[in-house]
Amino acid sequence: MFDKLLLIFDVSGFPPRWSCGLWSSLHGWTHIIADVLTALAYFAIPLTLAVFVSKRRDVPFSWLLWLFCAFIFSCGSVHLIEATIFWHPWYRLSAVAKVLTAGFSLMTVVALIKVLPEALKLPGMADVNRRLEVEVEERKRVNQTLALKNRELEDFAYIVSHDLQEPLRAISSFSGLLKGDLGENLPDVARDDLTHILNSTERMQQMVKDLLRLSRAGRDELKKELTPLQECVDDAIGQMELRIASSEARITTCGLPTMTVDRRLITQLFQNLISNAIKFTKDSQRPTIEITYDGNGVFGVKDSGIGIDPAYAKTIFNPFKRLHARDAYEGTGIGLSICRKAVERHGGRIWVESQPGSGSHFLFTLSPGSKDD
């Protein structure tokens, strides 16, 4: 079988083309050069096409392009063999190459005819662009509606939390008065019930206050000014002086830039992150907090605390999301939502990298437009 295959390279029985007929040098070389040049072009075209198809996987009917590659490549082979036949009379190989070329060309024609109706249905660039424009417009409209709804929701949260404060204050003070008025005359059960009411009211007041803080972080007009961020950190630390002293927390900062930001909001951001870093460190440990800037737009607040399960890395930024019981760590679950709001209002994003028991690394960016140096 293999011997028979080798027969296609057999040149016996044929003279080289130069010895066959009355070739002038000019005539022969014209054939040879034209065939070689055509062959080179026929090899280069499928090669370029192959690179294109393998890199652009989204090209429709890519299999057809591969068929084109085979067809053009076989045409090139025929031309190359034709050029070499002037010295090496492998007419049998030439015949095989021509049969292959005929096969590929027929297959290409059939494939083209089959594909034509589908290809005609493909949208043109103008059509695609028009559809894209419509989609962009639609998205703009949806975004505007969403922004409006968000605004309404924020207004609603603001009004509700603001207005809830008054009745809550009333419940709290009347419960206090009741406890004071009845004093020792109250049965133990009633006294316990009243204590529960007072505790719950206090907790609800704290939640409403925090909700109001969150709503303000999203509503209040930004007052952006050129601010050395180190000053925001210093202000945040200043507001937590007692807490930092009692926990003996060690806080280091490094290379914070000067940026155009809302000083109050960014101070609040650092304050929440530092406060959490202290709170979520075991009592037996001294909290260590590093505040960094990598020079490329990413800020970090890294602590040595209890860490966070990565499964909750996203949800902890949602309002009221807490991972611990209230008696283990106090809080309302609003601090990180305020951080996210503060960062987003400055065109940035916030995320956390952490493992339970290995501390937490909160990272955030602020819009480069806010940066000044």
300 scored as a contact of ligand ADP (CB under 6 A): no
Q: d(Cα 4, Cα 278) in Å, to the nearest integer?
A: 85
**Minimum CB–partner distance for residue 259 and ligand ADP (Å):** 23
Please classify residue 75 by burial: count the beta carbons closer than 10 Å to its beta carbon, then call 0-12 exposed, 13-18 middle and 19+ buried. buried
Please tell me whether residue 122 adopts helix, strand or coil conformation: coil
305 scored as a contact of ligand ADP (CB under 6 A): yes
By CB under 6 A, name the one of 67, 229, 334, 343 that touches ligand ADP: 334
Residues from 254 through 273 that contact ligand ADP (CB under 6 A): 272
Half-sphere exposure of 188 (CA within 13 A, CB side): 0
**Minimum CB–partner distance for residue 337 and ligand ADP (Å):** 6
**Closer residue to ligand ADP in complex, CB, 212/308:** 308
Applying CB under 6 A, the span of 54-62, 116-124, 188-196, 300-308 interacting with ligand ADP comes to: 300-308
Neighbours of 112 (CB within 10 A): 14
217 scored as a contact of ligand ADP (CB under 6 A): no
Neighbours of 261 (CB within 10 A): 26
* CB within 8 Å of 309: residues ≥ 6 apart: 323, 356
287 scored as a contact of ligand ADP (CB under 6 A): no
**Closer residue to ligand ADP in complex, CB, 80/249:** 249
332 scored as a contact of ligand ADP (CB under 6 A): yes
Q: How far is CA 255 from CA 121, 240, 252, 290, 300, in A?
A: 59, 22, 10, 11, 11
335 scored as a contact of ligand ADP (CB under 6 A): yes
**Closer residue to ligand ADP in complex, CB, 49/313:** 313
By CB under 6 A, name the one of 139, 169, 324, 349 that touches ligand ADP: 324
207 scored as a contact of ligand ADP (CB under 6 A): no
Pairing assessment for the beta strands 288-293 and 298-303 based on DSSP bridges: antiparallel
Q: Are 332 and 210 in contact (CB under 8 A)?
A: yes
By CB under 6 A, name the one of 80, 360, 364, 366 that touches ligand ADP: 360
Residue the block writes with tokens 């950190």:
233
Q: d(Cα 208, Cα 203) in Å, to the nearest integer?
A: 9
Q: d(Cα 249, Cα 253) in Å, to the nearest integer?
A: 13
Applying CB under 6 A, the span of 62-70, 73-81, 226-234, 335-343 interacting with ligand ADP comes to: 335-343
By CB under 6 A, name the one of 73, 280, 299, 364 that touches ligand ADP: 280
303 scored as a contact of ligand ADP (CB under 6 A): yes
State the residues that interact with ligand ADP by CB under 6 A. Answer: 272, 276-277, 280, 303, 305-308, 316, 321-324, 331-337, 360
